Amino acid sequence: MKITCYKDNILKALNSVVKGVASKTTMPILEGILIQTNDDEIKLTTYDLEIGIEYVMKCEVKEQGSTVVNAIMFSEIIRKLPDSEIYISLNENNFLEIECEGALYKLTTMNPEEFPELPKIEIENSIDLEQNMLKNMIRKTIFAVSTEENRPIFTGCLFEVENNKLNVVAVDGFRLALRSIYLQTKVNDFKAVIPGKTLNEVNKILLDSFDHIRIGISKNQALFEMENCKVVTRILDGEFLNYKSVIPSNWETRIRVNKNNLQDSFERISLISSSSIEKEKKYPVTVTVDIGKITISCTNQTGDAKEEIYISTEGKNIEAGFNPKYFLDSLKVIEDEEVFVEFGTNISPCLIKSVENNDYIYMILPIRLKE
């Protein structure tokens, strides 16, 4: 195998595939990148038995071949080489030689025939999206995915197509994030829960562009397919939350507020809420709605803080406690200038919604305040 490529091109490919390398494994082959040539292209593949990533790129191939090399070592060497042409070849002793402007590295390799094949996916349903749209949908939901392994189904996002509307939903037991769009082409209804880990990696690969990505779903696998890159992942087993049944359909109190003003207040109040004196303890903030204003306050051993924002209010006065992080995580991903915040009772969920349309909903459960 002998190939010549430019650093920028191969580094872009490596940055995409290295996310599929196994970090903790008893199988050294899974810590490698499979490098294969095909005419004037090379294909880089990584697979940790849960997520597999393939990237195809054009380059000058002088001699065909294939090998497996340690992913971290290979990518770090490439990253630190000069911005120039790089010559990569497999010598007679099966060492991978990397040459660039006087630098020469030789890396041990592994047998490419031992590298596991990516699953063959028989796609039953698929959707086509612009990459920037999928990127936006993931960004607006992924933070609410659960990190608790005792409920594996909630460590992923539900992708649900219903009446040509795509809903992406994340829940962790304390909050819910829902982002929706209407699809441009007619597709069948389906549901699949895709691991949050996979979506985080897909999000890093996605371009903020109108280029398209195809998402294909089979019985137990999902495929994300872009022009020169594809990601294969397992689908999580189990029954996802019936989220529509837990989102309140009416409110007792509603405010309309400038999103940035509300976010800034919560960020400042959080300084007191998560005080440095008691790092292990998080104090709830108290949210009080009166006619024409909202008051956000917190009191603990560090001190106390209170902020008032003058707003538009409808309905009853209310006082409820919340984890400020949950409010902040939601507000940080909203681009709208103003939002509705809807309350029921002081023990029922609170909703953050768009004023302009219905493309997202954030639901946050309150915390009981001590008397």
- Segment 35-78, tens digit of pLDDT: 999 999 999 999 999 999 999 999 999 999 999 999 999 999 99
CATH number at residue 313: 3.10.150.10
pLDDT at residue 277 greater than cutoff 60: no
Number of domains in the chain: 3
Residues 102 and 189 in one domain: no
Domain termination residue (choose one: 64, 92, 114): 114
Residues 222 and 302 in one domain: no
Domain for residue 371, yes or no? no
Cβ atoms of 37 and 64 closer than 8 Å: yes
Domain for residue 369, yes or no? no
Q: What is the pLDDT averaged over residues 148-156?
A: 92
User: Predicted confidence band at 276 (pLDDT cuts at 50, 70, 90)?
Assistant: very low
With vertex at residue 220, the alpha carbon angle to CA 187 and CA 125, rounded to the nearest 5 degrees, is 10
Residues 353 and 256 in one domain: yes
For residue 327, the enclosing domain spans: 247-364
210/274: higher pLDDT: 210
**269 CB-near residues (< 8 Å, 6+ apart):** 285, 296, 297, 298, 305, 307, 324
CA atoms of 233 and 197, how far apart (whole Å): 10
Among the listed residues 144, 206, 220, the one whose alpha carbon sits nearest the alpha carbon of residue 175: 144
Residues 61 and 136 in one domain: no
Residues 53 and 36 in one domain: yes
Q: What is the pTM of this model?
A: 0.91
Residues of the chain with pLDDT > 90, as a percent, come to 88
Domain for residue 119, yes or no? no
pLDDT tens, position by position, 239-262: 999 999 999 999 999 999 999 999
Exposed/middle/buried for residue 68 (C-beta within 10 Å: 0-12, 13-18, 19+): buried
- State the residue for tokens 């933070």: 143
Domain termination residue (choose one: 114, 146, 173): 114
In whole angstroms, what separates CA 109 from the centre of its chain? 32
Residues 277 and 228 in one domain: no
Residues 44 and 17 in one domain: yes
> What one-letter code names the amino acid at 295?
T
pLDDT tens, position by position, 310-347: 999 999 999 999 999 999 999 999 999 999 999 999 99
Q: What is the DSSP string of 68-87?
A: EEEHHHHHHHHHHS-SSEEE
Q: What is the pLDDT averaged over residues 128-147?
A: 97
> What one-letter code names the amino acid at 294?
I
User: Predicted confidence band at 282 (pLDDT cuts at 50, 70, 90)?
Assistant: low
pLDDT at residue 137 greater than cutoff 50: yes
Residues 129 and 239 in one domain: yes
Domain for residue 120, yes or no? no
Q: Residue 139 has which token pair?
A: 């960004």
**Count of H helices and E strands in the chain?**
6, 26
Residues 102 and 129 in one domain: no
CB atoms within 10 A of CB 268: 14
Residues 346 and 293 in one domain: yes
Domain for residue 144, yes or no? yes
Domain for residue 370, yes or no? no
Residues 209 and 228 in one domain: yes
Residues 20 and 97 in one domain: yes
Domain for residue 319, yes or no? yes
Q: Residue 331 has which token pair?
A: 């507000």
Q: From edge to edge, which strands make up the β-sheet containing 190-195?
A: 190-195, 156-162, 165-171, 175-182, 360-364, 350-354, 338-343, 253-258, 312-315
Domain termination residue (choose one: 244, 276, 297): 244
Domain for residue 107, yes or no? yes
